Structure formats: C-alpha cells, structure tokens
Structure 1
Amino acid sequence: MKRALFFVLLYSVWFVLPAQAQKFGYIDSEYILSKMPEYQKALTEIDKFADKWSKDIQDKYVEIEKLQKAYQAEEILLTEDMKRERQRIISDREREARDYNNKVFGYQGLLFDKKKELMKTPLDLINKSLEKICAQRKLDFIFDKASDFVMLYTNPRHDYSDYVMEDLGLDTKPTATNSNPTNKTTTKPK
C-alpha cells in the first residue's frame, strides 16, 4: 500500500511540475585565450619574470662553484678550523640557493603568484563575457572544453566560443598557425 501511494505521489509530481529543458553549451578557453592580446602580454611578462629569477638562481650556483674551486685550491694550506668555516659557508650558500629556488619556482611560489596575478585580467574578461552570453542565450550550464573535465564528444552546435570572442572583439576566423583540433563551423548555436 505504501509503495502504491509513493508511485501515485511520484506521478502526480511528475505531471504537475512542468518539464523544463535546461540549455547548455561549452567554450574552448585555450582557443579564446590564444586569440587575446591580454593573454599574450601576460605570457610575455611571466616569461620575463621566470627568466630573471632563473638567472638569479644560476648566478648563485656560479658563485658557489667559485667558492668550491677556491676552497679546493687552498685546502692544503688551510687549518682544520679554516676548512670547517669554508665548508660551512659553501653549505650555507647552497642551502640559500635551494631555498630561493623553492621560494620562486616551488609550489605556490613567486612564479605561481605572478601567473595568478597576470592571468587575472584575461580570465576576468572571459568570465564577464560568459555571463553576458549566458544571460543573452538563456544558458543554464557552460562547460570548458579545455579543462580537466573530460568531454568525450562535443557537438559544434553547442560551441559558444565564437560568441565570447565576438563579445571580446577578437577575430573568430582560424589562423594558419592555429592547431586547434576543434571543428569551428560558421553556424552558431540557437
């Protein structure tokens, strides 16, 4: 009896509540970002910082190498206390270089923070455009084809990348150097 009552309630809810289809779409953020001058500028800035920090670390290791060669050349002339002091200095410099390397390139280091800071502008532009496109097209869900979320099949009909690019004022035509595997068609989702 309880089972029958459950099914009656289930069917009544099913028919009383109107079925509402949810609209969804997807974008390819890598494709969009590759066309954005703000993104290219951010990448250039990130490379500059990474190169500068790499050079700083390399300079520290060159200095350590000089200290080691000087120690090896003078080792036979040094007293035991002087040897220990030189070895301590070399060891301290090696530790400082390792610590600096971890501080810059380690997990959530300076490079990570700089990337986050410089990528904020292009990502904010895409998000604002997405909000606008979703409101205009009455979309309930937007997925990112470039994310870790696996999309085994995508119908180009649901690709809203071109709308976002148009909103951002970017060229939607594929370039000869674009190796984007997605099938960009001229028909847009409805």
Structure 2
Amino acid sequence: MKRGLLFVTLCVLTATQPAWAQKFGYVDTDFIFSKLPEYQKAQAGIDQFADRWSKDILDKQAEIDKMQRAYQAEEILLTDEMKRERQRVISDKEREVREYNNKVFGYEGLLLQKKKELMKAPMELLQKALEKVAAQRKLNFIFDKASEGMLMLYTDPRHDYTDYVMEEMGLDPDSQKGKQSATTQPTNSAKPK
C-alpha cells in the first residue's frame, strides 16, 4: 500500500513539474548508523534499559512462580477462605506484572520513550547532513535504501549519496567492505555528481 501511494505521488509530482528534471538519490542509513558513534552509544543505552526492565519482569515472574509452588504445596492444609485469599494474591501479582510489562514494552511505553529520547541526537545529525547534501547536489528526493517502506531491487551506484552524508557527518566512508549487495554493479563505483 505504501509503495503504491509513493508511486502515485511521484507520478503526480513528475506530471505537474514537466519543465525541470527531478534528481533522486539514496543513502544507506543502516551503514551510516553502523559507523556513527552517537548512534551506537544510543543503541547501547536502549539495550541497557531493555535488559534492566526485562530482568525486573523476570524477577517478578519468578516471585509469582514461587508463590504458586508454595500454594500448591500447602493447598491441602488450607481452608476454602485461605485458598481464595492466596489465589487472589497470586492473581493480583500476575496482573501487576502484565501492567508493568505493558507500561514498559507496550505501545508508547517507557522503552519507546527512552528510544525516542536517546535517538534524538543521532537523528538530528543525520537530518542536518541529508539536508546539506541535498542542497549541495540539488537533489529533489533522497530515499533510504535500508528502509522497509522503500524496497530497491536494483540500485545504480551513481545515485548512492551515502558517502557524502557520511563525510558531512565526519565519518570515514572508506570502510565500506561488503557494503555493495548483489544487486549493485561493482564495476561502476564512481560517486554521483
């Protein structure tokens, strides 16, 4: 659906602007982020928070399991009232764990908020570099080769602006071993003009 909408939008833009040619380019944000220390630091922070919160949930679940084993071991000795009370306490604990899990890992949860917070700086660096490269190279569009929404089965290396964006960000674009996929033509490695 997204690709169809993108295609229709591009057709409309092309049809309404016949007087001037539009320039397209693409970058590989996965590759850029793999070289960007700010992104790696942010990702490490996100992983640290996720691990800590996961451990909290596992600890709470282990406590519930312990309570259930104790209840099963003592069930025969308990009155009906005591059984109901123990079951209620266990149910309350299970509900608390589910709520905590949703609070942390759910939609708009703590992890997503922390990710937005930590990724703000690397994303701003990338955006500034993209805007500068687009202005310098007079590009109308820059696509993300790494994006799920824009699938590229074939890419002409002449239109790859990843190196320019990396240079703008102060990163070393020469460590690209293994970057080219089977869909690119390895014989033409010149940068776009």
| TM-score bracket relative to the smaller structure | 0.7 to 0.9
Determine the structure 1 residue equivalent to 2:156.
155
Alignment partners' CA distance in 1, 2:80 and 2:61: 25
Shift of 1:106: 1.9
**How far apart, CA to CA, are the structure 2 residues paired with 1:37 and 1:164?**
15
Cα deviation, 1:30-84, whole Å, max 9, x if unaligned, reads 1111110011101110110011001100110111111112212222222111110
Whole-angstrom CA distance in 1 between matches of 2:90 and 2:136: 64
Aligned mates of 2:161, 2:192 — CA distance in 1: 7
Residues 31, 180 of structure 1: 8 Å contact kept: no
Aligned residue for 1:133?
Answer: 133
Cα distance in structure 2, aligned partners of 1:114 and 1:144: 24
Alignment CA distance shift 1:23-1:179 (3 Å): closer
Amino acid of the residue matched to residue 172 of structure 1? P
Distance 1:22 1:31 in 2: 26
Q: Give runs of aligned pairs for residues 1-190 of structure 1, distance below 5 A.
A: 19-147=19-147, 148-174=149-175, 181=181, 187-190=190-193
Q: Normalised by the size of structure 1, how large is the TM-score? A: 0.84
Do the aligned partners of 1:23 and 1:141 also contact (CA within 8 Å) in 2? Answer: yes
Question: How many angstroms apart in 2 are the aligned matches of 1:146 and 1:43?
Answer: 17
One-letter amino acid matched to 1:169:
G
Unpaired runs of 5+ residues, structure 2, are 1-16
Distance 1:175 1:30 in 2: 12
**TM-aligned CA deviation for residue 107 of structure 1:** 2.5
In 2, distance between residues paired with 1:175 and 1:19? 38
Rg bigger for which structure?
1
C-alpha distance in structure 1 between counterparts of 2:176 and 2:24, whole Å = 27
8 Å contact 2:160–2:192 — kept in the other structure? yes
Q: Which amino acid aligns with 2:71?
A: Y
Q: CA RMSD in A?
A: 2.0
The SS at the match of 2:143 is: strand
- After TM superposition, the score normalised by the length of structure 2 is 0.82
Identity among equivalent pairs (%): 66
Equivalent pairs, count: 173
Q: By how many angstroms is 1:152 displaced?
A: 2.6
SS at match of 1:98: helix
CA distance in 1, matches of 2:60, 2:36: 37
Alignment partners' CA distance in 2, 1:56 and 1:18:
59
The answer as to whether partners of 2:157 and 2:189 remain within 8 angstroms in 1 is no
Is the Cα contact below 8 Å between 2:39 and 2:122 reproduced in 1? yes
Structure 1 gap segments, 5+ residues each: 1-16
In the superposition, relative to structure 1, how do residues 179 and 89 fare at CA in structure 2: closer, same or farther (>3 Å)?
A: farther
Question: 1:175/1:151 Cα in 2 relative to 1: closer, same or farther (>3 Å)?
Answer: closer
1:174 is displaced (CA, Å) by 2.6
